[in-house]
């Protein structure tokens, strides 16, 4: 089958575009501090993630973060990134950065484009702490746009501990028009619907934010965890933070040379989320 997707580069943003229709799926890129996915569009062009919020400038689109990270006697935080929010914010102590290497493996396929980014997580002294392989697959369905993101962290410089924390591990900053403050709803499995309390700190096959946009109908963003047999824990906030965070309930440790992988599926959709759509998207 003919591939009809291309990548258009705007500065360091790699935009995935369907050649025949001009439809843009979204963008993959990096700044000095971290890589992330933004923008990310429904089939009709509505964005479902926010590049950053005024009070949380380090919540970037679809992203990975973790803080703290410990290797030997070294500790660094990879949750926050500049600009600072205040002079006293502890989340900016011992701040590291994710050094995204310029060479990116870009592979177009019949339904979209896959990106593989090599990332070195460096401490405040620019010394490497872990290596990461970040894989992003942006592709189309008949009724939605999909972003599959996988973060594979490698203990390349000694054994690694990721302590118990609320500051991790992979998730999104939700577009404000989908939030409860704007009349949006949060959806979970087994017909759960309402505010963030329906899934926060719990398990669910999926989590979605959905709202009706005046003049355009319903649209939303859907998330499911791609680690095998994993349904949580989810860390869901009404202001738009939506994470799969395995370190919320306990620490994760990897011996030297071993790997820790987290993976999340994010889907931008138009129309109402039905149980049939949710089941299909979880099983893709």
Among residues 115, 120, 90, 95, the alpha carbon closest in space to that of 104 is found at 115
Report whether pLDDT(3) > 90: no
pLDDT the model gives residue 2: 54
Q: What is the pLDDT of residues 217-243, one digit of tens each?
A: 999 999 999 999 999 999 999 999 999
**Average pLDDT over every residue of 171-184:** 97
**Average pLDDT over every residue of 59-88:** 96
Report whether pLDDT(1) > 50: no
Q: What is the pLDDT of residues 146-167, one digit of tens each?
A: 999 999 999 999 999 999 999 9
DSSP 174-239: B-GGGSGGGT-EEEESTT-EESGGGTTTS--S-EEEEEEETTTEEEEEEEEE-STT----EEE-TT
Q: What is the pTM of this model?
A: 0.96
Structure token pair of residue 184: 């949006």
Contacts 24+ apart (CB under 8 A), 71-76: 71/129, 71/130, 71/155, 71/157, 71/158, 71/159, 71/160, 71/161, 72/158, 72/159, 74/123, 74/127, 74/129, 75/123, 76/121, 76/122, 76/123, 76/124, 76/129
Give the whole-angstrom CA distance, residue 49 versus residue 86: 25
The DSSP element (H or E) to which 282 belongs, if any, is helix 275-283
Among residues 12, 19, 38, 35, the alpha carbon closest in space to that of 27 is found at 38
Report the mean per-residue pLDDT for the chain: 95
Report whether pLDDT(14) > 60: yes
> Domains in the chain, ordered, with CATH?
5-283 (2.70.98)
**Average pLDDT over every residue of 190-203:** 92
């Amino acid at each position: 089958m003919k591939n009809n997707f291309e990548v258009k580069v705007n500065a360091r943003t790699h935009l995935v575009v369907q050649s025949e229709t001009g439809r843009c799926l979204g963008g993959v890129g990096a700044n000095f501090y971290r890589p992330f996915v933004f923008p990310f569009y429904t089939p009709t062009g509505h964005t479902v993630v926010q590049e950053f919020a005024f009070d949380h400038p380090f919540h970037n689109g679809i992203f990975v973060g973790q803080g703290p990270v410990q290797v030997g006697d070294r500790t660094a935080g990879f949750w926050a990134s500049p600009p600072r929010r205040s002079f006293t914010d502890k989340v900016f102590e011992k701040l590291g950065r994710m050094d995204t290497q310029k060479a990116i493996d870009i592979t177009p396929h019949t339904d979209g484009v896959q990106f593989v980014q090599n990332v070195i997580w460096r401490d405040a002294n620019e010394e490497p702490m872990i290596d990461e392989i970040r894989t992003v697959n942006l592709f189309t369905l008949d009724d939605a746009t999909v972003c599959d993101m996988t973060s594979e962290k490698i203990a390349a410089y000694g054994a690694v501990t990721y302590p118990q924390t609320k500051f991790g591990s992979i998730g999104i900053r939700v577009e404000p028009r989908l939030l409860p403050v704007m009349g949006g709803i949060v959806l979970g499995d087994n017909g759960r619907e309402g505010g963030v309390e329906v899934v926060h700190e719990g398990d669910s096959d999926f989590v979605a934010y959905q709202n009706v946009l005046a003049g355009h109908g319903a649209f939303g963003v859907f998330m499911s965890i791609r680690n095998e047999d994993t349904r949580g824990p989810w860390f869901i906030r009404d202001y738009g933070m939506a994470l799969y965070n395995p370190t919320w309930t306990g620490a994760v440790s990897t011996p030297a040379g071993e790997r820790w992988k987290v993976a999340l599926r994010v889907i931008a959709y138009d129309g109402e989320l039905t149980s049939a759509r949710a089941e299909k998207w979880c099983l893709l």
